[in-house]
Amino acid sequence: MADQEFDVLGIGNAIVDVIARAEDDFLAREKLAKGSMSLIDEARTLTLYETMGAGTMISGGSAANTIVGAASLGVKAAFIGKVKADDVGHVFTHDIRATGVHFATPPAKAGPSTARCLILVTPDGERTMNTYLGACQNLTPDDVDETLVTSSKITYLEGYLWDPPAAKQAFVKAAAIAHKASRLVALTLSDSFCVDRYRDEFLALIRDKTVDVVFANEHELKALYQTADFATAVKALREENVLGVVTRSANGSIVVTREETISAPAFPIDKLVDTTGAGDLFAAGFLAGLTRGVDYHTCARLGALAAAEVIQHYGARPEANLLDMAKENGLI
């Protein structure tokens, strides 16, 4: 149980990433849609792992990456996610706790193994993800620590969590607890393919005020409103009367409220290496600003800074101290 106040609590899939370089012809040969996230079973995971190049194992998971990034920015952070009591699960648990994130979800003693995501990075930095959810699917409402949710200023939920039915129930339970305690609930749409699967349900979460803040990239936003026109999608988002945060890669980001649209530029980078985690770390920066009560433009600049750091190296978690970087850039 939580015995302190937290700034941000993430609830999401506890996944260990295996990241490897790949050429476009490898993706074609394996019939993988470049830039997508596909759910695969354990057998396919083993087969693909054997055929892909040498990989680096790094703890990941979308919301977990965000929470680690937020902790690097100096906020008190916690995470709820399910692993199995196996070697990969121990790796995840050690890694996230080592960043200072509170993580106390009991591991599963039986059932599928800890989730992993095989990430293939092409020379242009684009990532193609193949995810075996494994033990993630065992996350249930019982894993939602009510005291932890109540003591967190913002509960951040990842769209990928909407795949397993039991996890979906945990998602809704956490949102209800947070709102009962007058806390904020944020949702990231995660992936345009995820939006295609659950468009109506995601829209319902927004419209029935289950969520207060929505994170999306421009592709996810256009998928949500089934339009190829970005301006049309932004107009539709404005009508939802939520805080909308939309990333546009090198074109920066916009923050959309009922009253205004605020634009913020991307941070310059020396070299694009791997876009894995760019959206996750942008959310980390924005949430870190939001919990500090800074203006939305500064929140977006913090997000841009965190995203710029993570795309210049392999892996979806920061290698530099983001708090020091934010101070150097006058954002904190």
Q: What percent of the chain has pLDDT over 90?
A: 81
pLDDT tens, residue by residue, 316-331 = 889 999 999 999 999 9
In the predicted model, is pLDDT for residue 3 greater than 80? no
The model's confidence at residue 44, banded by pLDDT at 50, 70 and 90, is very high
The answer to the question of residue 253 being in a domain is: yes
Specify if 193 maps to a domain: yes
Specify if 6 maps to a domain.
Answer: no
**Structure confidence by residue, pLDDT tens digits, 254-274:** 999 999 999 999 999 999 988
Residue 275 lies in a domain: yes
Q: Is it the case that residue 53 has pLDDT exceeding 90?
A: no
Compute φ and ψ for 172, nearest 5 degrees: -65, -40
**Mean pLDDT, the chain, whole residue set:** 94
Residue 291 included in any domain:
yes
Is residue 216 a contact partner of residue 244, using CB atoms and an 8 Å limit?
yes
* pLDDT of 1 strictly over 50: no
Instruction: Give pLDDT tens digits for 134-160.
Output: 998 889 999 999 999 999 999 999 998
Confidence of residue 278 (pLDDT cuts 50, 70, 90): very high
CATH number at residue 211: 3.40.1190.20
- Name the percent of the chain lying above pLDDT 70: 99
235 lies in which domain range?
12-328
pLDDT of the residue at 55: 86
What is the average per-residue pLDDT within 96-122? Answer: 94
Q: Decide if 324 is inside a domain.
A: yes
In a domain, residue 40? The reply is: yes
Question: Does the residue 312 lie in any domain?
Answer: yes
* Domains held by the chain: number: 1
